[in-house]
Chains A and B, each alone.
Chain A
Amino acid sequence: MGLPNAEMDDVVGKEYAQGFVTDIESDTLPPGLDEDVIRAISERKCEPSWMLERRLSAYRHWLTMQEPNWSSVKHPSIDFQAISYYSSPKQRPELDSLDQVDPELLSTYEKLGIPIDEQKALAGVAVDAVFDSVSVATTFRHTLAEAGVIFCSMSEAIREYPELIKQYLGSVVPYKDNYFAALNSAVFSDGTFVFVPKGVTCPMELSTYFRINEAKTGQFERTLIVAEERSQVSYLEGCTAPMRDENQLHAAVVELVALEDARIKYSTVQNWYPGDAKGRGGIYNFVTKRGDCRGDRSHISWTQVETGSAVTWKYPSCILRGRDSVGEFYSVAVTKGHQQADTGTKMIHIGENSRSTIVSKGISAMRGSNAYRGLVRVAAKAENARNHTQCDSLLIGDRCAAHTFPYIEVKNPTAQVEHEATTSKVSDDQLFYCRQRGLSEEDAVSMIINGFCKEVFNELPMEFAVEAQKLLAVSLEGAVG
């Protein structure tokens, strides 16, 4: 290709633009995990005893489990005793407004471009900013409350809405589900709870920003979104992390429940620290995201743009229980440097006429390795289930890799399952053509990549689509060969 490999790595090796660390006094538990640590977490969050019992059951189950090693991702084994499981930025008591929030914290948000301000209000976005483990700022609660929408931190929800939490938390991802889900269920620190009652269309896009700040602090978010009959909600999630030497573990669980005729759209633009040029210090991202289309004609749509993390292991999934329910998965995953991504989705068809669409776009540059792993399962009673999967890989340079692993299990003869896969390269010819028309190599690559990702970007809420394009441009700057 155009540039020799060494030179290519040089241009690609852009420093992570958002790698800075905020100096804030933290209330952090010493590293290590045992039942006492779990009790301490629960106590600090003033949880009721039933929650503590749930955590302990999950922990005891986790102890019996093995860390999975079946994915194509390679990473040094994680020392779970070296991680601190609770960290909260110290707040001044009784905050009436943002003016009273730690100015360091606010300036961190500013650097990250997180707008907890009028601009966002105009854009119609409510922000629940999660700083490390505790929610520190929530806006627009009143507008939402008027509509009857609950949008609050998980800790608050556990105290204020115990009945809803007991009913729904863990109903989509039980703690026995997998190793990281069990760990999360035992030690989850905070997260977001959204509840949209019958017939309500949430009046604004909901968004949360995550940020990992404490060294060696695992981040164990827990998100639950419940959309009752005929309700609708769109939730946006975005992440960045500061530069650190040690690998940081992130094991979040996201559960979505859509009842009859409800619609949930969950969008993620993820930009975690991927590690330095040698692959050191990136985020390990093991996430369980699952949506349950419980009601007839319910609709759950996952859209994600992944550019960060050293290791990503993530399969947003849909369980299509309701008749005529619809599951969608649109994904762009970028891996460069030493990044590894093992992502994909699972569509489990149980209801009659359930339909699912999967569009997965993988981009690999430098030594990046990208794997798509998709499961489409059609249960025996899922008459006329339909799936269409389109899985495209784009390679930049000749030392990166892309793998596709489609798993299809069909137990009903009326099902129609289609799988299409393509692999293409950004070719010398294409780059020459663009440059001959006056475009720089970088603009050419970003144009070709945006073209490649268009179907996914189209699914993102407008302002996120713009951010996603920028993010891709930044993260692939110079990734040409």
Chain B
Amino acid sequence: MLTIKNLTASVDGKEILKGIDLTVRAGEVHAIMGPNGSGKSTLAHILSGRDGYEVTGGEIVYKGQDLLSLETEVRAQAGIFLAMQYPVELPGVNNMTFLRESMNAIRRSRGEDEIDAVSFMKQVRKKAAQVKLDPKLLKRSVNAGFSGGEKKRNEILQMAMLEPYLAILDETDSGLDIDALRTVADGVNLLRSPERSMIVVTHYQRLLEYIEPDRVHVLVGGRIIRSGGKELALELEARGYSWLVEEAAA
């Protein structure tokens, strides 16, 4: 599904990613953990094609394609979805309209028909209920004035509707209460399937109790310094990052 080879990237001349290697196969869920400022969001943004980052070396292959040569929206149309750490507000743009436009843009790019209004409504109601998003929020402007938790649920709703092949969740669990965490995890688990992969960026082992990852990676200072199974998350929870950093330096 996704292969990242020796990826280096900088922002304003400052090197942030210093050689990332990562392979995610279809059906796998990978967790990325690491201290603040280590480059997790940077990696997520580069995967989704956000402007402002300079890729200085390495390559990314997604479904056999050179990902870095694709425009942001083309990546989205090819099935890459980023649930953002800070979802953006779009005042005046109706939440449901946005979702439908988005779905249709993706469908059109694949040569499929646009979704009809009735099926769309049915689906959106059902999936909003699954992620326990207050239906009133569907009628409001995208994320405008939503609480932190509501914004995160809205991201999960979008993900559920768009059914991506590679979903990247950047700290979708941050700022959620325990019930919400559960709901978000359920939403993610519902989407798990053999043809879909996920990269889950998180600071908390708790999320990984609900979403069992196949692999856990530790990103420190722009490098993956350790990869392991889900037990690595438990170890990190107990011991923090410093021991790993010391080991890596040794």
Contacts and interface: CB of A to CB of B under 8 A. Distances in A.
Given A435-B72, A437-B76, A439-B105, A448 B98 contact: no
Contacts of B76: 435-438
Interface in B48-73: 48-52, 71-73
A118 interface: no
Interface in A420-475: 424, 427-430, 432-441, 443, 447-448, 450-454
Interface string A196-217: 0000000000000000000000
B166 to A, nearest CB: 12
Contacts of B94: 451
Contacts of A452: 91-92
B105 A440 contact: yes
A428 B86 CA distance: 13
A404 B50 CA distance: 34
Interface in A1-35: 2
Majority SS of interface residues in chain A? Answer: helix
A91 to B, nearest CB: 47
Contacts of A436: 48-50, 72-73, 76, 81-82, 84
Nearest to A424: B91
Nearest to B72: A435
B101 interface: yes
B77 A438 contact: yes
A246 B71 CA distance: 41
- Which of A2, A432, A454 has the most chain B CB atoms inside 10 A of its CB? A432
B93 interface: yes
Nearest to B75: A436
Interface of A: 2, 424, 427-430, 432-441, 443, 447-448, 450-454
A429 B51 CA distance: 10
A435 to B, nearest CB: 4
Interface of B: 48-52, 71-73, 76-77, 81-82, 84, 87-94, 97-98, 101-103, 105-106, 109, 141, 158, 162
Contacts of A454: 92
A437 B91 contact: no
A428 B109 CA distance: 23
B73 A430 contact: no
A451 B91 contact: yes
Given A438-B77, A451-B141, A433 B91 contact: no
B149 to A, nearest CB: 18
Given A437-B102, A447-B101, A451-B141, A432 B92 contact: no
Contacts of A429: 88
B82 to A, nearest CB: 5
A441 B51 CA distance: 13
A434 B162 CA distance: 13
